[in-house]
Structure 1
Amino acid sequence: MGKITKQEAKKSLTGKDRLLQLLARAKEKGRTLSQLLSKKNKKEDQKALLELVQENKVVELSKRYYAPGYAPNIETVADRIEKTLHSIFTTAEKPIEYKPISKAQLQKKCSNCPEILFEEALDCLIADRIIIPLRIGKIRYYLPMALFKANEKDGPPLTSIDPKKIYDAYIQLRKEQVYTNFSHVSIASLQSKTGIDLNLLHRLLLEQSKKGFAHLFEGDWALAPKEEKEAALHFQGKRFLRVKLEQPNNEPL
């Protein structure tokens, strides 16, 4: 039996298989409709593509198609925006010497960032204090926060916090809760009980979260009171209202 040529292999593929193969090869770049439809079977290919989208085997974003494993999401788009901004702006000069970049200019320079995700990713970066939004007239502009923090300290060191004070406050709040079996307490209550600066507390919780000693919980944003929302910890596009603490042996919280 002779070898199968590339042309014969292509012919043996069904419409859906051919589309899936094209998208798998495209990876993160994805493909447009015109790049996917064959000249001879446009209608059949379009129907097959629609079925694949409905079957969740293909992802469509801003008129571009991706294999599910390669489709952009909020986190990947936010990461690309951040990297694009840092490639444009460096911290070698003073912030006053920079001209902020508009949303349209930024989106043009940021490759593979679908419009449907771009705006939300920007809002996440603003909430995480990674970029600064500026409005001039009706146009929004942006600058990386790193420009303004390059020569600034992050504030008091985490070692300035008494770990016993934090954990004692957490335990006390646990006892005061109506539902005693619920181990998470609100970040707002923890800040109020300890009197620690909120930004410093957020830094501490993130640091301890990385070590596995603090477990952040988003909670129900719609039902949360105003004070809990104001004290929420914003990180990677998420808003955390509550936290569970574990006391490490002989280590600061």
Structure 2
Amino acid sequence: MRNPFARPRRTPLLVTAGAVAAAVVLAGVGDLVLEHVARGRIAGAAACRLRPSGPVSAGLTGTLPGLRLLTGDVGTVRIAARDVRRDGTSLSVAAELHGVTTGGAIAGGTATATLAYGQLAARMGSRAAGLRPSGDGHGGLVLTGTLAGIPLPLAVHARLATAGGRLTVTPTDVSLLGRQFTVGGLAADPRTSALAGRLGPQSVTLPQLPGGVRLVRAVTDSEGLRLDLALTPGATSGTRHGCTR
């Protein structure tokens, strides 16, 4: 006969709870270890392909990203690299790759490559005519300074367009002596037509993009000229520079 005053046995319940807790802890530890190793390998592979002078970082998203690696599915990966050299220009690159597998394939992704304003000025060369590029806060470009032959400081507002691997800078408005003029208005006035003639569209060659990477648009932000890019599944194929990861 069961003793009505005996305490109920909780050992099986405690053992079960302990086992579940241990499994969760072990899964978490295993996930952290796998994720750490994966991030290191991904960063290494990105560094091998991008060859930056600055640091490279990689991050995995989603739940239990490390344990997903056991199925060959990495998921979404974010990569950032500083001082990536292309065609004599230093770029800061940030990419988000989707559908990444442990074999190195991707389903697609997006990226940005940013040229600092000093780098853009160097790429424009004499075409900037002594004016310094900066952002206008709305994605457009502003060139400020003293135009050669014009002893007055001015600000030239320009719109940006891209085609065929080139950036076209088209001045639209000029701020001079506290007044705003359109380039068309300057061209129509004989007194300022010479100035307008020096403010025509300028074409700048952009750094060459690797295969599978398409330029979507170019805009300015606080860091410089930002190239928004789209990546296709073929963007990571090949063993360039001897990279096999």
TM-score by length of 2: 0.27
Structure with greater Cα Rg: 2
TM-score normalised to the size of structure 1?
0.26
Which structure: greater strand fraction? Answer: 2
